[in-house]
Amino acid sequence: MKGNTDHSESGITNCLVSKAIREKLVRLGVADEFDLLLHLPLRYQDETHLCPINDVPENKTVQVEGIIIHSEIMYRPRRQLVCRVEDDSGILFIRFLNFYGSQVKAYAVGTRVRLLGEIRQGFFGAEMVHPKCRIMRECIPLADALTPVYPTTAGLSSEALRKLIQRTLQALADGGDQQGYLSETLPDTILKQYRLHSFRSSILLLHQPPPDASATLLQQRTHPAWRRIKFDELLAQQLSMRLHYRQRRSGNAPVLLKKNDLIRALLQSLPFELTSGQKKASSEISHDLVAGHPMQRLLQGDVGSGKTVVAALAVLQAIENGYQAALMAPTEILAEQHYQKLSAWLGPVLGSSDIKIAWLAGNQKKKQRDSMLAAIADGSAMLAIGTHALFQDQVEFARLGLAIIDEQHRFGVHQRLALRMKGAKTGLAPHQLMMSATPIPRTLSMSYYADLDVSVIDGLPPGRTPVVTKLVAATRRDEVIARIREACHAGKQAYWVCPLIEESEALQLKTALDTYETLSLTFPDLKIGLVHGRLPPQEKSAVMESFKQGDIQLLVATTVVEVGVDVANASMMVVEHAERMGLSQLHQLRGRVGRGTETSICILLYQKPLSPIAQERLKIIFESTDGFEIARQDLRLRGPGEFLGARQSGVPMLRFADLEQDGDLLDAARNVAEELLCDHPEAAKRHLQRWLGKRSEYLRV
Ligand code: ADP
Ligand code: MG
C-alpha cells in the first residue's frame, strides 16, 4: 500500500536530504521518513564471500576477485573494453560495452578488482558483462551481511538509497523518532498469539540484515521480518475495508420484510426448482434486506449458475414492501436481456397493466425515455432496468430501496456511489446487491472485497452437460466450417465470435463485417445474423430476438455476447483468435453455450505462433470448466491489479503481500482486524493512520 503522500505536512527531514534528492524520492513514492522505511529491498546481494572463478554456479550473481592480466579495447563485433581477470583457480573475461576513458586507465594490467555479476559462457569463454567492479587498492574486508538492493530511479542509485536509509534509521535510533515511525502499533497479546516479530526489529532487519539472517528466507520474502510487514499491510487493508463496511452498515435502510406473496408466486411460476446454492444465497440476501441497514452484498457464482433469478427474488422483496428496485448492467445487450427475462418472470406476478418495469438505455427515443423517467419518478415503475443511463442526473426514483449491479467489476467506485445516491428521496440508503459474472478467487474476495458480504452460489443447475472445448489451429478452419454446417443442418444454433482487436474499435468493427461477409459466402445455405457493439439498439435486440427464436442459425458476434447472453438452444461456438483473449473472457464466452441439455462444443481457433502466456491461457481453459479454478489461475497470471478492473480505483493496492503466497497471513489479518476494531480501537486507528494516512478517507464504496 502506498503511504500518505501529502507533502505539505510531512517530508523527509531537511537536514537529511537536499531538495533535489527529495524530488527524486517523490518519484519513488517516498514523501516522508515512514515511506522511506517502507522502501524495502527488492532483493539482497551476497557480498559476504568470494567465489573461485572456476567454481562459480552459472546464472547466479556472485562475487569474485582477481588481477587484470590483459586489457584492450576491441572493435569487433562492436567497440568494447575487454579485460581478462585471473585468480588462483582460473580466468574470466569482463566486457564493458559503454565505458569511459577513466575506466580504461583504471582497469590497467596488474590491478586487483572485486567483481559482482553473473558469469555466462560468452564468445571468449566464461565472462561477466558489465559487472559491478571495485578496484582493490588496499584490502577491503568482505561485507559481513547481505547487501540490500533497492528499487531505484534516475539519479538515485541503490547504493545512495542504502546510505540514506541507514542514516535515517540511525537518526531515528538516536532519539529522533518523535513521530513514532518505528513504534509498535499492535498490542502484545496479538503479537504473541500470532507469533509476530516487532515492527521495529522487522524494519531494521530488512534494511540491515544481520550476518546470520537466512538469505533464502529474505530473498523469498518468507522471513519473519517480511511476514510482519506483509501482515501489517494486509491488516491495514482489512481495517480500512471493515471500517467502511461498518460505517455504511450503521446507516439506515428500508426494512424490507419477507412477505412472500409475490415471491411464492414467482417461484411457483418458474419452470425449475432453485438449486441449493441459489436458495442459500437468496436467503442470505433476504435476511439482509430485513435488517434495516443497507445491505452490501456481493453475489458470486460461475457463469450460468443462475444469479439472475436470485436477483429477481430480491427485487420482489423490495416491491412487496412498496419500494422500487434498480438493476444496472454494463452493456445494452445484457440490460435488454435482463429486461426481457425479468418482464417475463415478474410481469405475470405483478400484473401487467401499467409500466411496472421501466427500461433506460443510452440512445433511447426521447419520448419513450421521458415516459420511463416519469414512471420512475412517480413510483409507478417498480423496477428500473438499464445501463449506465440509470444513474444519470435526470433519473429520480420515488422510493429506491434496492440497487442491483450486474458485472460489478465493470463499474467504478463513483458510478456505484451515484446509483446509491438515487435513494436520497427516501432519506434512507438503498440496499446494494452486486453480482459478478466472473468468479472471484477466495483470497481476492477476502482482501479486496473485504468491505462486502459475500454469497456464493456453488454448483450449476442440474441437467447441464459440460461444454467440450477443442483447441484448433486456424489452419484447420475448413474442418471447423464443415462441422458448423453439419450442426446447423441438424437444427442446432451456433455463435461465431470475431477476433478481438484491442487497439482499435474501428478495426474491430471492420473485422466483424468482413467475417460476416465471408461466412455468408461460405454458408449460403444458412441464415446468418450479425451483432456488434455499434449496432443501433433496436437492431441489436431484433437480431438477438431472431437468434433466440431460432430464425437465425449462425450468429456472428463480437465479444458483446461475452456477458450474460442466454440462448439455451445455441450449442456450438467458434472463437476466432482465441489466443488474443483473456481467461475470464474466454470462460464467459464459452459460458454462452452449454445452457441446454444438448452437449455443447466450443472451438477455440488459434493462430500460431503462440506466446508463452497465450499458450498457458489456452491450456488452462482447455483443461478446466470450473470458473473458480480459472479465476485462480487468472489471478496468478495477471496479478490482482488487472483482475480488479474498475474497482481498483478506490481500493488500496497491496505492495508487499502476495495473495497466493501469503494466504495464511490474510486469514490472520482478517481475524486481528475484527479483534482490534472490537477490543483495541485506538490500536486500529494508529495502525490505519500509519499505513494509509489520509488515503483511508478515499475508500467509500
Ligand atoms: P448467470 O449466473 O450466469 O447470470 P443466469 O441467471 O443467466 O446465469 O442463468 C442461466 C440460465 O439458467 C437461465 O436460462 C436461467 O433461467 C436458468 N436457470 C437459473 N436457475 C435455474 C435452476 N435452478 N434450474 C434450471 N435452470 C435455471
Ligand atoms: Mg448473468
Handedness of CA 510, 515, 516, 520 (dihedral sign): positive
Report the C-alpha gap between 449 and 631 in whole angstroms.
Answer: 15
* Closest protein CA for atom 5 of ligand 1: 306
What pLDDT, in 10s, does the model give residues 286-313? Answer: 999 999 999 999 999 988 899 999 999 9
pLDDT value, residue 652: 67
Counted residue by residue, the chain has a size of: 701
Would you list the domain boundaries of the chain?
A: 19-44+149-220, 49-142, 261-457, 468-624
What is the C-alpha radius of gyration for the chain, rounded to an integer number of angstroms? 31
pLDDT value, residue 477: 92
**Confidence category of residue 397, pLDDT binned at 50, 70, 90:** very high
DSSP 304: T
pLDDT value, residue 673: 96
- Do domains 49-142 and 261-457 share one topology? The answer is no
> What share of the chain in percent tops pLDDT 90?
55
List Cβ neighbours of 429 (8 Å cut-off, separation of 6 or more).
248, 251, 252, 253, 294, 420, 423
**Confidence category of residue 401, pLDDT binned at 50, 70, 90:** very high
pLDDT value, residue 4: 43
pLDDT value, residue 133: 92
Could you tell me the distance, in angstroms and rounded to a whole number, from the CA of residue 272 to the centre of ligand 1?
Answer: 9
Average pLDDT of the residues of the chain: 88
Has domain 261-457 been given CATH number 3.40.50.970? no
With CA atoms as reference, report the closest residue to 466 among 600, 333, 348: 600
Report the C-alpha gap between 627 and 588 in whole angstroms.
Answer: 9
CATH class as words, domain 49-142: mainly beta
**CB 344 less than 6 A from any atom of ligand 1:** no
pLDDT reading at 415 higher than 80: no
Could you tell me the distance, in angstroms and rounded to a whole number, from the CA of residue 98 to the centre of ligand 2?
Answer: 58
What pLDDT, in 10s, does the model give residues 653-691? Answer: 789 999 888 999 999 999 999 999 999 999 999 999 889
Residues 167-179: what's their mean pLDDT? 86
pLDDT reading at 3 higher than 70: no
**Confidence category of residue 602, pLDDT binned at 50, 70, 90:** very high
Query: Nearest bound ligand to CA 592?
Result: 1
Worst-scoring range by mean pLDDT, 361-375, 405-419, 545-559?
A: 405-419
**CB 596 less than 6 A from any atom of ligand 1:** no
**CB 305 less than 6 A from any atom of ligand 1:** yes
Q: What's the order of all strands across the beta sheet hosting 601-606? A: 468-473, 601-606, 570-575, 493-497, 554-557, 528-531
What pLDDT, in 10s, does the model give residues 433-450? Answer: 999 877 888 888 888 888
Name the CA dihedral angle for 405, 410, 416, 418, rounded to a multiple of 10 degrees: -110
Could you tell me the distance, in angstroms and rounded to a whole number, from the CA of residue 307 to the centre of ligand 1?
Answer: 7
Could you tell me the distance, in angstroms and rounded to a whole number, from the CA of residue 475 to the centre of ligand 2?
Answer: 34
* Closest protein CA for atom 15 of ligand 1: 306
pLDDT value, residue 86: 95
Residues 96-123: what's their mean pLDDT? 91
Residues 46-52: what's their mean pLDDT? 90
Residues 427-431: what's their mean pLDDT? 90
With CA atoms as reference, report the closest residue to 628 among 113, 277, 287: 277
Q: Residue 375 class from Cβ within 10 Å (0-12 exposed, 13-18 middle, 19+ buried)?
A: buried
Report the C-alpha gap between 567 and 580 in whole angstroms.
Answer: 25
List Cβ neighbours of 318 (8 Å cut-off, separation of 6 or more).
254, 256, 289, 324, 325, 401, 402, 431
Which is more confidently placed, 554 or 411? 554
Query: Nearest bound ligand to CA 334?
Result: 2
Tell me the residue ranges of DSSP E strands in 528-592.
528-531, 554-557, 570-575
Q: Residue 273 class from Cβ within 10 Å (0-12 exposed, 13-18 middle, 19+ buried)?
A: exposed
- Show the CA angle centred on residue 459, arms to residues 455 and 464, nearest 5°: 140
The cell numbers describing 300, all together, are 458470486
**Confidence category of residue 282, pLDDT binned at 50, 70, 90:** very high
**CB 460 less than 6 A from any atom of ligand 1:** no
pLDDT value, residue 287: 97
Ligand 1 atom closest to the CA of 568, numbered from 1: 14
Q: Mutate which of 566, 589, 595 to test ligand 1's pocket (most atoms within 8 Å of Cβ)?
A: 566
Could you tell me the distance, in angstroms and rounded to a whole number, from the CA of residue 593 to the centre of ligand 1?
Answer: 12
**Confidence category of residue 15, pLDDT binned at 50, 70, 90:** low
* pTM score: 0.80
Worst-scoring range by mean pLDDT, 33-47, 207-221, 563-577, 645-659?
A: 645-659
**Confidence category of residue 701, pLDDT binned at 50, 70, 90:** very low
pLDDT value, residue 505: 75
Residues 347-374: what's their mean pLDDT? 84
pLDDT value, residue 594: 83
With CA atoms as reference, report the closest residue to 152 among 160, 141, 144: 160
pLDDT value, residue 354: 59
Worst-scoring range by mean pLDDT, 30-44, 430-444, 492-506?
A: 492-506
CATH T-level assignment (fold) for domain 468-624: Rossmann fold (3.40.50)
pLDDT reading at 259 higher than 60: yes
* Closest protein CA for atom 18 of ligand 1: 306
List Cβ neighbours of 542 (8 Å cut-off, separation of 6 or more).
none
Q: Cell numbers 433519473 label which residue?
A: 395
State the SS3 of 99-121.
CCHHHHHHCCCCCEEEEEEECEE
Q: Mutate which of 308, 327, 340, 464 to test ligand 1's pocket (most atoms within 8 Å of Cβ)?
A: 308
Could you tell me the distance, in angstroms and rounded to a whole number, from the CA of residue 633 to the centre of ligand 1?
Answer: 25
**CB 663 less than 6 A from any atom of ligand 1:** no
**Confidence category of residue 253, pLDDT binned at 50, 70, 90:** very high
Could you tell me the distance, in angstroms and rounded to a whole number, from the CA of residue 343 to the centre of ligand 2?
Answer: 16
pLDDT value, residue 647: 60
Residues 532-552: what's their mean pLDDT? 86
pLDDT value, residue 654: 87
**CB 438 less than 6 A from any atom of ligand 1:** no
| Range 388-391 contact pairs with CB under 8 angstroms and sequence separation of 24 or more | 388/328, 388/330, 388/362, 388/415, 389/360, 389/361, 389/362, 389/364, 390/326, 390/328, 390/360, 390/419, 390/422, 391/328, 391/415, 391/418, 391/419, 391/421, 391/422
